[in-house]
Structure 1
């Protein structure tokens, strides 16, 4: 059976992906930052019709087309969209894969007759993509290289066994070579593929590298080229059906233990960990109960996960008996091997287990931790992050002591000007200063608007009173006044 390959080229994939969700009337372009400059990465038809080209600087483009609407490029989103299109293409053949950043390649050998022939298949592809508001050029030929050449330079169908004759009139750029090599060939007078095939291969090999010969032979079919289908994402799900219904918690936990061993081994093989595990219990009356265990960190340790399931499993209503249970790992993340510490746990795992247990009762989003922030302003030196979805990656610098309790500045009554007052009133208490140290001058961050710091400089002092309070006070030189900002333990 003669091999047949389809190449689909989406020449405006990044822009049309965005316009499908947010249509724009008029010229539109997707921009990509290169160094300190923004350049046009992809254009719609209106922008191309007004003379704009890919690679043009954004400033120059706006000078030509003032009403140009732009959006920044998202390479990852474009990749995911292309993968989605590859999955759609499996309706024609299971051998559908990606071809670069903007194309698909399909091996339709033995599949075209299911759609009434290649002409009918090609028309169906074009119609469906047009309804999806996607511009696509399609080529069908005996080889992957020939199909790519047709899609980019002469869309259509190449008759079987006539690949060389079909490629002959096309430009040498249709061989999937870089622009530098194509320019060098054209300077030698080799403008078409037919001009190249007329020369001895040894002559081309002496002037150019073997990559050019390889591309030529792949296009003409003298050298094979595989079509790699898109691999399916791994599925992390296991199930168990019982010969007789069960209802005891111990029986469910025993079955869960066996399923977890299988599931975690599958995760370990791919060096992955689960953030959430769904337990689905099906009873004999065909009703189903789902329990989702959300974990504070990616895990694949079966004994630890089993202990965390004890409370949720105890709350399951078995009814007249359970005949089937199923486990599925969700929110799977990469989890490379780590060094095991004392007690057989990786550092921090005991705390993560505690967060998981608390999160099962009050929700993981309600458990927060402090994250250091690079700022010398006391109120901005930390932020709150969910304990389950973040790690403390920085440390607080302790160049100067900071109180454990910080609150909004509270004014004190005093007649002192620069030095800490000997006697002052705060929170209706009359206090006397025993010792003091300072000052530590902190200036406001002028690049951030903050009403609390519009008073300007602050001179901070650590003041210990005779009444036993250890206060963190500051003085504002530009508007003389004393305030208490924190309390040491």
Structure 2
């Protein structure tokens, strides 16, 4: 049976994806930032009709078309949408995959007769895509390269066994070669595929690289090219049914242990770990209860996960009995193998288990941890992030000691100039300086708008008072004054 391939090219995929949900009237463009400039990434028909082109600078485009409506590109969303289209294409053949960032490739060998022939299949594709407000160019041929060439330069069907004759008058740019190579061929008078197909391969190899010969042979069918179908994402779910209903917590935990072993082995085979696991129990009265365990880090250790489920399982109402349970890892992340330390745990896992237990009671989003930030400004030297997402990915730099407690600067009453005062008043307390060390000069970050630091430089001192307080004080040279910014332990 002769192999047949379909190539579908969505020439306006980014813009049409956005316009499907938020339609606009008039010229529209999707923009992409390249360096310090915004350029047109994808246009609708109206924008192309008014003379705009892909790659044009946004400022130039607005000069030509003042009423141009733009939105920023979302490349990840475009890829997900193309993946959805690939799954839709499996209605025609199970061998459907992605072709670059804006196309699909389908191996329809032996499937066209189910749609009364290739012409009927092609019209059905066009009609369905048109109803979805997607414009597409489609080519059908014996090879993947020929189908791609037709979709991009001469949409239609190449009869079986006549690939060379169909592609002959098509431009050399249809061979999926670089623009530089296509330009060089045209300068030599080789404008069509039949022009270069007639030349000896050795001549082409001496003048151009082997990529040109490879693309030519793939298009003509003398060199094979695979069509890789889009693989379905792995499913991490297991279930168990019981011959008799169960209701005891120990029975549920025993069944859960067996399911976890199977689930964790599946995760381990793909070097993945679960971030959220949902336990679903179905009672004899056909009602269902779901328990979701959210983990502080990816995990696939059966024993540790089982312990974390104990509290939630104890709160399940078994009713007249449970006849079926199901376990699914609803959120999965990569988890490569790590060196196990003392006690059988990887470093930091004991803390993660504690965060998971606390999160089951008060919510993981309510547990935060501090993350260092590259800034010499004391208030900006850290930020708080959810405790369940990632670990601290930077080290705390302690070039100069910082107080345990830090608060908004509070003025003190003193007549001292640049050195710490021997006597001063703070918070209605009269204090005497026993010792001091400093200064540490900190300058404001001028590129950030910050009212608290607009006063300019600060000279920080560590001051220990005779009353036992250890203060972090600073002096402002430009507007003489003393302030307390923190307390050491």
Q: TM-score range by the shorter chain?
A: over 0.9
Shift of 1:51: 2.4
Matched, 1:483 2:483: yes
Shift of 1:59: 4.1
Change (3 A) 1:115 1:427: same
* Equivalent-residue separation in structure 2 for 1:313 and 1:294 (angstroms): 14
Q: After superposition, where does 1:303-342 map in structure 2 within 5 Å?
A: 303-342=303-342
Count of residues in correspondence between the two structures? 489
Matched, 1:358 2:358: yes
Instruction: Calculate the TM-score normalised by the size of structure 2.
Output: 0.94
Change (3 A) 1:417 1:214: closer
- Aligned residue for 1:309, secondary structure, equals helix
Shift of 1:166: 1.6
Matched, 1:128 2:136: no
Between stretches 62-71 and 421-430, larger displacement belongs to 62-71
- Deviation per residue, 1:380-407 (Å, 9 max, x gap): 1111111111321122222221110011
Between stretches 327-336 and 219-228, larger displacement belongs to 219-228
Between stretches 334-343 and 63-72, larger displacement belongs to 63-72
Matched, 1:174 2:174: yes
Between stretches 454-463 and 65-74, larger displacement belongs to 65-74
Between stretches 212-221 and 122-131, larger displacement belongs to 212-221
- Deviation per residue, 1:449-468 (Å, 9 max, x gap): 22222222222221111111
Matched, 1:52 2:52: yes
Instruction: Calculate the TM-score normalised by the size of structure 1.
Output: 0.94
Shift of 1:36: 4.4
Alignment RMSD: 2.0
* Equivalent-residue separation in structure 1 for 2:444 and 2:205 (angstroms): 67
* Equivalent-residue separation in structure 2 for 1:52 and 1:449 (angstroms): 39
- Deviation per residue, 1:306-360 (Å, 9 max, x gap): 1111111111111121111111112211111111112111110000000001001
Shift of 1:37: 4.1
Change (3 A) 1:200 1:419: closer
Change (3 A) 1:479 1:143: same
2:262 alignment counterpart: 262
Q: After superposition, where does 1:74-85 map in structure 2 within 5 Å?
A: 74-85=74-85
Shift of 1:203: 4.2
* Equivalent-residue separation in structure 1 for 2:62 and 2:449 (angstroms): 32
- Deviation per residue, 1:104-148 (Å, 9 max, x gap): 011222323333332232222112222222221011222222211
2:472 alignment counterpart: 472
1:73 alignment counterpart: 73
Shift of 1:179: 2.2
Change (3 A) 1:289 1:418: same
Unaligned 5+ residue runs, structure 2?
A: none
Q: After superposition, where does 1:30-109 map in structure 2 within 5 Å?
A: 30-109=30-109
1:162 alignment counterpart: 162
* Equivalent-residue separation in structure 2 for 1:186 and 1:438 (angstroms): 74
Matched, 1:420 2:420: yes
